[in-house]
């Protein structure tokens, strides 16, 4: 069994899989369910100075992803301060309290939630080149509390490396990457209505669809900062989480998968991570953290064709690899590759489910 414990900016996490701020941690009851489900720590749903008035309908599963018009907590901050936070602390897990959004709101809330918080997460919707709004929000929190403060960023920041460096320089103790992407849209073709009940019909994209975007943000930010990173967006399996750790994340947060699968998803992902580490001979997450950066640095850029290696004993002749756009693949009893036609694109390797093809680079 591998060591899944994580030290995140001085916080001790039982394992690297936490809920992200959202419906799966909408109140203390849900938070305690997440703890029983195997979460390694807790992030509470974002609160602001007033309760959110969320449009309905506000969630829909779509092909390849998930739409939402979720806002911050529908519960008033007074209820969190008087009831929910104290009950949530009964989980015994490290608790990160999420706040939003403007500096003056964060300053007001930070001192009030401090008795319940091991750290703060500040949700931002920053877009633009002027960093002062998010830096001011960070400093407002840092002025009020003596616990770590993490900044959650939108996928719309124009230059994640620049923003990550600026926040580290301004005193951020960690980054949370990324929030959902949008606005986007879905339409019910039977009714003609937008799937989301917002005034414009727009929503925000999360789930599997944004995993590659999350990976890129984490990978880029991890290349320029030393503070730890939570990866959020598109994580539903242990393999997804392993990818995020290899990209440079210290831990992950899960929302959409918890909505669709319930609170036991946290423990399931952690167990899958443990199984993968054991199967590959790793004793801890530290051994693979940032591995993609180290491996990429060893790989030279090339344009010449290298055809995949075939392991015939693993081939089941399922035919998934026959999508080759160059017509280089045939499958009879086993897969065969026409080397004169192969372009070395790697598509067939990504499609193989049995390890029968490998692109050695």
The pLDDT tens digits for 142-195 are 999 999 999 999 999 889 999 999 999 999 999 999 999 999 999 999 999 999
pLDDT tens digit string along 281-311? 999 999 999 999 999 998 877 788 889 999 9
What is the four-CA torsion angle of 346, 351, 353, 357, rounded to 10 degrees? Answer: -30
Q: What is the pTM of this model?
A: 0.95
- Number of residues that this document lists for the chain: 361
CB atoms within 10 A of CB 38: 18
Q: Which domains does the chain carry?
A: 6-295 (3.20.20.70), 300-358 (3.30.70.20)
Contact 65, 210 (CB under 8 A): yes
pLDDT at 318 over 70: yes
Q: Would you state the pLDDT for residue 127? A: 64
Report how far residue 199's alpha carbon sits from residue 202's, in angstroms, rounded to the nearest whole number. Answer: 8
DSSP per position, 254-316: ESHHHHHH-TTHHHHHHHHHHHHHHHTT-SBGGGTTTHHHHHHHHPPP--S--PPEE-GGG--
């Amino acid at each position: 069994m591998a060591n899944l414990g994580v030290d995140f900016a001085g916080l001790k996490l039982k394992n690297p899989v936490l809920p992200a701020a959202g419906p799966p941690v909408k109140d203390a009851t849900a938070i305690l369910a997440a703890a029983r489900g195997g979460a390694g720590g807790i992030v509470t749903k974002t609160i602001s100075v007033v309760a959110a008035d969320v449009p309905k309908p506000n969630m829909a599963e779509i092909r390849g992803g998930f739409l939402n018009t979720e806002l911050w907590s529908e519960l008033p901050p007074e209820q969190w301060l008087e009831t929910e936070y104290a009950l949530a602390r009964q989980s015994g897990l490290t608790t990160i309290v999420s706040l939003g959004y403007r500096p003056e709101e964060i300053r007001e809330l930070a001192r009030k939630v401090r008795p319940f918080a091991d750290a703060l997460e500040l949700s931002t919707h920053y877009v633009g080149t002027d960093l002062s709004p998010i830096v001011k929000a960070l400093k407002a929190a840092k002025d009020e509390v003596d616990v770590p403060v993490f900044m959650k960023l939108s996928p719309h920041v124009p230059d994640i490396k620049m923003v990550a460096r600026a926040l580290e320089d301004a005193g951020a103790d960690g980054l949370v990457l990324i929030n959902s992407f949008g606005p986007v849209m879905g339409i019910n073709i039977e009714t003609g209505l937008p799937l989301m009940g917002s005034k414009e019909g727009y929503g925000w994209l999360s789930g599997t669809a944004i995993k590659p975007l999350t990976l890129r943000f984490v990978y880029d930010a991890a290349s320029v900062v030393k503070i730890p990173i939570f990866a959020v967006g598109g994580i539903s399996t242990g393999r997804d989480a392993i990818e995020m750790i290899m990209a440079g994340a210290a831990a992950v947060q899960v929302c959409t998968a918890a909505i669709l699968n319930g609170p036991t998803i946290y423990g399931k992902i952690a167990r899958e991570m443990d199984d993968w580490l054991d199967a590959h001979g790793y004793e801890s997450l530290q051994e693979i953290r940032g591995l993609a950066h180290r491996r990429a640095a060893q790989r030279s850029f090339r344009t010449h064709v290298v055809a995949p290696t075939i392991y015939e004993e693993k081939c089941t002749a399922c035919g998934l690899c026959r999508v080759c756009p160059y017509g280089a693949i045939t499958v009879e009893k086993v897969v065969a590759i026409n080397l004169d036609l192969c372009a070395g694109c790697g598509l067939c390797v990504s499609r193989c489910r049995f390890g029968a093809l490998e692109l050695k680079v």
